[in-house]
Amino acid sequence: MDYLQLIEDLPHQIRDAIKLAQGEKVEGEIQNILITGLGGSGIAANIVETLLRETKMPVFVNKDSTIPAFVNDKTLVFVSSYSGNTEETLNAFKEVQKKRAKIICITSGGKLKQIAGDSKVIMIPQGMPPRSAIAYLLFPALVVLHNLKIIKLSRDEILKIIDSLHAQELRKKAEEISVQLHGKIPLIYSSPQFGAVALRWKQAINENSKQHAFWNTFSELNHNEMMAYNTQNKQFNVVILRDEKDNLRMQKRIELTKEIIKKQGTPVTEIMLKGDSLLVKIITVIFLGDLTSYHLGIKNGVDPSETIMIEEFKKKLK
C-alpha cells in the first residue's frame, strides 16, 4: 500500500466525499446532535463538534458503547464507523435506534450496513485504513449539516481548502518537523478550539510512526502538566499549534509557557494555523500532521500503513 499517496489524495477525497452526501438530510425538529465513533472514525466527530461551537446547536461526541440519556426522537445522530464493525459503535447504534433518533450512518459497509434498517446510510469507499479516510468520514456529515442549515459549507471554502493542500511548503515543513521529532516523544499543545487537531496529530504519530505521543490544551495544561517541567527531561519535543487569530490572553499564556519549557531544555516546535476559515485551518494542519507522522515513521524504520497490533487485539476481543 502506498500510504503516502493515500495522504496526498486528500484533495480528491474531499471532492468525492462531498458528492456522496448531496441532498441528504433528515425531516423534523432537531434539538441536539450526537456523533458516535472511535479512532480514525471518531476524529471526524471531534472536528464536527469544534465547528458546531460557532452555532447554537448542542452537540455531544460519544466514544463509548453507551449513549447519553438526553437522546430522543429530536436528536440527530451521526454513527461513524469506517469498517462498519466497530464493537462500541455498533452497540451505541442499537441504543440510539431504541430512542427513535434521526440516524445517519457513515460507513464502508460491515455489520452497521446490515443492521441499519430504516436509518440513512452514506456509503464511502472501502479498502482504506480508517485514519486515511478522514475526508470520507467528515465531509458527508458537514454536507448534511449544511443541507439542514445548521452550518454553512460554501464552494469557495472547499476550494480554499483544496488549494491550501497543494502547497509545497506543507511538504517541506512536514519533512523538517519529522527531523525535529525523530528520537523524541512529541507533546502536542493547542488552544481548546484546536484540541481536535492536536488529538489527530497524537493519533497519527501513534499509528503511522509507531511511537508514543501525547496532547493537551491551554489553559488546562497550565494547571497541571506544566509542573512536570520542574524536572529536566531530554526525551520530549513540544509542538505548539498556534492560531494567528489567538486572542491576546492566549498569546501571552502560550509565550510564558514556552519560556518555561525552553528554560528546562525541552525543544519547542511552533506551527502557526493560517487560513480564511476555521475549517481551512483544521484540514490544512491535520494534513501537515499526517505527512509529518508518515516521514517520522519512515525515520523510525516502520511501515506507516501497518496496524497489525490493533487488528490482532480486536480479534482477541471477539
**Domains (range + CATH), the chain:** 3-153 (3.40.50.10490), 165-299 (3.40.50.10490)
Q: Considering the chain, what is the average pLDDT of its residues? A: 95
Q: Which residues pair with 62 in a beta bridge?
A: 36
Is-contact 107 123, C-beta < 8 A?
yes
Q: Pick the catalytic residue: 113, 258, 299, 314?
A: 314
Q: Residue 276's pLDDT is what? A: 83
Q: Which residue has the higher pLDDT, 276 or 286?
A: 286
Inform me whether the pLDDT recorded for 27 exceeds 90: yes
Q: Sort 182 into a burial class: Cβ within 10 Å, 0-12 / 13-18 / 19+.
A: middle
Region class of 153: left (phi > 0), else alpha (psi between -120 and 50), else beta:
beta
Long-range Cβ contact pairs of 215-218 (< 8 A, separation 24 or more): 215/187, 215/188, 215/189, 215/190, 216/187, 216/188, 216/189, 217/189, 217/190, 217/191, 217/192, 218/189, 218/190, 218/191, 218/192, 218/250, 218/253, 218/254, 218/257
Q: Residue 83's pLDDT is what? A: 95
Give the mean pLDDT of 279-298.
98
- 314 carries an active-site annotation: yes
Inform me whether the pLDDT recorded for 166 exceeds 90: yes
Provide, rounded to the nearest whole percent, the portion of the chain with pLDDT above 70.
100
Q: Residue 164's pLDDT is what? A: 95
- Of the candidates 186, 189, 212, 176, which has an alpha carbon nearest to the alpha carbon of residue 258? 189
Range of lowest pLDDT (35-39, 105-109, 168-172, 272-276)? 272-276
At 3, the pLDDT band (50, 70, 90 cuts) reads very high
Give the mean pLDDT of 61-88.
96
- 146 carries an active-site annotation: no
Q: Pick the catalytic residue: 95, 207, 281, 295?
A: 207
pTM for the model stands at 0.95
Q: In this predicted model, what pLDDT tens digit does every residue of 229-240 receive, in sequence order?
A: 998 778 999 999
Q: Residue 119's pLDDT is what? A: 93
Give the mean pLDDT of 99-106.
98
At 311, the pLDDT band (50, 70, 90 cuts) reads confident
Q: Pick the catalytic residue: 223, 315, 316, 318?
A: 223
